Chains A and B, each alone.
Chain A
Amino acid sequence: MPAATSAARSLLFVAALAFLTIVSSTTAHAEDSQSLSARIAELEETLAQEDADEDQALVFEEMKYLVGFFWQEGRGLQSQAGVPDERGSEDAWILQPIAYFRFRTGKRMRHEISVPVDIVSAASTDALDIVSQASKGTQAFEINSTSTFLVSDAVDLSFKLAAHAEENFRSFRAGTNIAVKLFEENTIFGLSAMLIADGFDPITPAGRDPGFAGRTTLGVDATYSQVLSPTTLFDLTYGVSDQLGTLQTPYNSVIVRREPTEDDPRTFYRTAEVFPNNRFRSAAGARLAQHIPQTATTIKLSYRFYFDQESATAHTTELNLFQYIVPWLYVNPHGRLHHQTAPSFWVPELVDPIDPKEFHTSDSDLEAFVSREVGLRVVLLRDRAPASFRDSDSFEAGYTRYQRDNGLHVDYASLGYSRTF
């Protein structure tokens, strides 16, 4: 009995100890939970308040300033500058400062505004200067704005507005874009529409003022963007545009050969180009971007095919290379090869008599040609620079050479500065 009593007491003691341990542990856990809850609640409240403040805020995120200088030399049949029955001068220079701002009003509304200003030496080389001084020099001002509403994590809705003014030309653009992000944002479908209304007072090469003219362009673009891997991105685009109205460039002309007569010894004269008042154009493109982490290199290769109802086609291939020298400095060489055929109504010259209603142009921009472009940009990102040099801004300098086999070439140099806030 005493042994049994002793065993029972021992069992009772162990049970009591276990009970106390459990109670103590449970109480400690409850206290821990309470303490944890209090800390979590405090942190939650702090972050929620910060986010709420941010949601109300007007925040400037980035500003950029870029100055570009174009120097163009060339000869085009549409220009009557120089020897009037040969290719005329297309020489011009353009100084183009651009200011760009990005800001947000709350977390879901973002805005981008860019303001390019063109100071052009000769917008219409040797055109008649009855209402326009554009052959001597002109200035163009433009403002573009894009506001994007982040409807949800999967849908962005953008609205674009732009206005352009120069001499006797005004242009307004309004558009919208919807982007739908699927499959964890690895797939994006985009659809955009843009309406452009241009108004201008054309003067023909012969000096006639046919009165106010206008044209309207409606463009619709669809894009498909697919992340193939964390370092590979593939894009497809297809777009159509329909232009209605006065599509010719008023000061462009076409040489007309004629047999001289006793009354009129001229062997040629120039007439205004005539375009159809409706052009339907299409373009399809693909782009592959591949980043190579081991060498800090990104390659972007794109191809675009253009075709329109006037049988003009164009193939454009572009290669962009981004090579980091150090984490805060990269170079961006690029090359572009473009081949186009002329529309069915492109002619080098006409023979008198002509049908004034027949479509014809000698514009060198629409001529069949091959163009090549090579360029190099150097970009310094100070936000990735060593600590002693670091700041929230970046600098870039670039030079591009564009050369066509129909006699035109353009040199483009640019300097840029941007700052993030």
Chain B
Amino acid sequence: MLGRRSFVVSSAGLLACGGSPAQEGLAPKPEKERPVPEIYVVGLDGKSSSLADVVRGKVTLIDLWATWCAACRDTTARAVRLHGGLKDRGLLVVGVAEGEDIPTVSKHLETEAVPYPIYVDTPFALASSIGTTELPTLIIADRNGLIRKVTNQLDANIVRLLGVLLDEKP
């Protein structure tokens, strides 16, 4: 549930996750609503899809994560619970593995499977386009494909927001 601000901050030099105190904080929040970016993500079957097409017409929770990110595990566990509790109410949960490749993610999911679709974004295109530099990051989009919130805390406030969005008439 903790975040970090830069891909290059960590000693290992890759996308950072988890928390050192000085670098912890929320992910960037959009100044105003903007559409889910028209970027392509790759499914575990190797097929490319437009993320905007994937989320079109659905209230969506997009979880940006990585296999090595310890802090992402808590968030993913919560995303799985939201998926279980709200999928039949129209919630779409999508996981996007940032900076990773299909074999690595597939191997990871053999032991830590999730019930919702997982995509791979090797070149960090999604993270770059929304301007976030932390993992985990969560994007909440409404049925019109507009981003309503970017955060790295999947807490009660996000659940409340999802409830409002799901209750909005299509």
Q: Which residues of A contact B (CB under 8 A)?
A: 29, 32-33, 35-37, 39-40, 42-48, 51, 54, 61, 102, 110, 112, 146, 148, 150, 153-154, 156, 158, 177, 179, 181, 184-186, 188, 190, 227, 229-233, 289-291, 293-294, 296-298, 300, 322, 324, 327-328, 330, 379, 381, 383-384, 386-387, 390, 392, 420
Contacts and interface: CB of A to CB of B under 8 A. Distances in A.
A48 B127 contact: no
B159 A387 contact: no
Given A39-B85, A156-B22, A293-B124, A387 B110 contact: yes
A386 B21 contact: no
A381 B12 contact: yes
Contacts of A177: 22
User: 5 shortest A-B CB distances, which residue pairs?
Assistant: A298-B13, A184-B28, A148-B21, A40-B163, A384-B68
B86 A300 contact: no
A186 B123 CA distance: 20
Contact of A294 (B9, B110, B123): B123
Contact of A36 (B6, B132, B166): B166
A328 B68 contact: yes
A375 B163 CA distance: 54
Interface string B96-116: 000110001001101100000
B64 to A, nearest CB: 11
Interface of B: 1, 5-9, 11-15, 18-22, 24-29, 67-68, 70, 78, 81-82, 85-86, 89, 99-100, 104, 107-108, 110-111, 122-124, 127-128, 131-134, 154-156, 159-160, 162-163, 166-167, 169
A40 B159 contact: yes
A43 B159 contact: yes
A33 B165 CA distance: 11
Contact of A387 (B6, B111, B127, B162): B111
B85 A233 contact: no
Contact of B22 (A46, A158, A290): A158
Contacts of A190: 22
A296 B110 CA distance: 24
Contacts of A327: 67-68, 100, 104
A188 B133 CA distance: 14
A383 B167 CA distance: 40
A298 B82 contact: no
A230 B124 contact: yes
A37 B89 CA distance: 11
B27 to A, nearest CB: 8
Contacts of A392: 70
A387 B108 contact: yes
Contacts of A32: 89
Given A188-B5, A298-B8, A324-B12, 8 more contacts: A36-B89, A40-B162, A153-B26, A227-B133, A230-B128, A291-B15, A300-B13, A384-B67
Given A39-B89, A293-B99, A298-B14, A185 B163 contact: no
A322 B13 contact: yes
A44 B159 contact: yes
Contacts of B25: 150, 153-154, 181, 185
A185 B86 contact: no
B15 to A, nearest CB: 8
B110 A291 contact: no
Contacts of A232: 8
24 contacts: A39-B85, A40-B86, A40-B159, A43-B86, A46-B81, A47-B159, A110-B19, A150-B25, A156-B21, A181-B5, A181-B25, A230-B7, A230-B127, A289-B6, A289-B9, A289-B13, A291-B15, A293-B99, A298-B12, A322-B12, A322-B14, A330-B13, A387-B110, A420-B18
A293 B160 contact: no
Contact of B7 (A37, A188, A231): A231
B167 A227 contact: no
Nearest to A384: B68
Contacts of B12: 298, 322, 324, 330, 379, 381
A24 B124 CA distance: 47
Contacts of B127: 230
B45 to A, nearest CB: 21
Contacts of A158: 21-22
Contacts of A112: 21
Contacts of A42: 85
A47 B22 contact: no
A148 B107 contact: no
B26 to A, nearest CB: 5
A51 B156 contact: yes
Contact of A231 (B1, B122, B124, B162): B124
A298 B169 CA distance: 47
B133 A47 contact: no
Nearest to A297: B13
Contacts of B107: 386-387
Contact of A43 (B28, B82, B134): B82
Contacts of A230: 6-7, 124, 127-128, 131-133
Contact of B14 (A102, A291, A294): A291
Contacts of A47: 78, 154-156, 159
A383 B13 contact: no
Contacts of B160: 40, 44
A297 B12 CA distance: 9
Nearest to A300: B13
